[in-house]
Amino acid sequence: KAIRQDMVIQHIRNANSVLIYESNGRLAMQEHDFGEFYKIQSYLMGLYADTRARENEAEFMAYRLFYWMMQNNTVDMVKDIRNMPMDLKSHPYVSHALNLHRALELSDYVSFFRLFATTPNQGKCIVCILRDRMRSRALRVILRSYKPSIPFDFLRDQLAFKVKAEEGDEEGDEEKTV
């Protein structure tokens, strides 16, 4: 954080500053410090506009979209999508984020959990919060739909919970998605 502050004070806006902000952004996500992440990614969007160092722009745009979803901020999300160049919209990371948003908005929990499982890079640091929200929504839908009883295994599978591998399995103690 101190390095970032020094760069701002000294007006350093180059490829190295992009790398520093990206590293700090990833660390903030890992630590679930989303307030700090928001500051970092906001500044980072300006750095991408001012420099040629755009190798990870799609990755951080996807994180930005996930952040807007987490905050239920569709207004800023729509602004970002409208202002986004087509090549960025079609990038697999951004496309994945947009598909996840669609599943979230439609409360399509089956698609959402499939997309969650394939979330690229460190997006799961943010999307795990959305996953918990979607599990609550899905549980309400399932409970209403399958009254009076629901098999536990079915519920576990639908809500994308993990199951410990059997002791005799080759995977040992690894978890596998059911």
User: What pLDDT does residue 173 have?
Assistant: 41
Q: Which of 33-37, 43-47, 49-53, 168-172 has the lowest mean pLDDT?
A: 168-172
Query: Who contacts 98 (Cβ-Cβ below 8 Å, separation ≥6)?
Result: 65, 81, 89
User: For the chain, where are the alpha helices, taking DSSP H only?
Assistant: 2-9, 15-30, 34-50, 57-70, 74-83, 86-89, 92-105, 109-117, 124-145, 152-158
pLDDT band at 130, cuts 50/70/90? very high
Task: Return d(Cα 77, Cα 83) in angstroms, integer.
Answer: 10
User: What pLDDT does residue 131 have?
Assistant: 93
Q: What's the full length of the chain, in residues?
A: 178
Task: Return d(Cα 71, Cα 16) in angstroms, integer.
Answer: 30
User: What pLDDT does residue 106 have?
Assistant: 94
Per-residue pLDDT tens over the stretch 94-119 = 999 999 999 999 999 999 999 999 99
3-state secondary structure of 175: strand
CA nearest 115: which of 176, 66, 164, 44?
66
User: What pLDDT does residue 166 have?
Assistant: 54
Residue 11 has pLDDT above 90, yes or no: no
What number is the average pLDDT over the span 121-126?
Answer: 92
Give the domain ranges of the chain: 1-55, 58-164
CB contact at 8 A, 178 and 159 = no
Residue 171 has pLDDT above 70, yes or no: no
User: What pLDDT does residue 165 have?
Assistant: 62
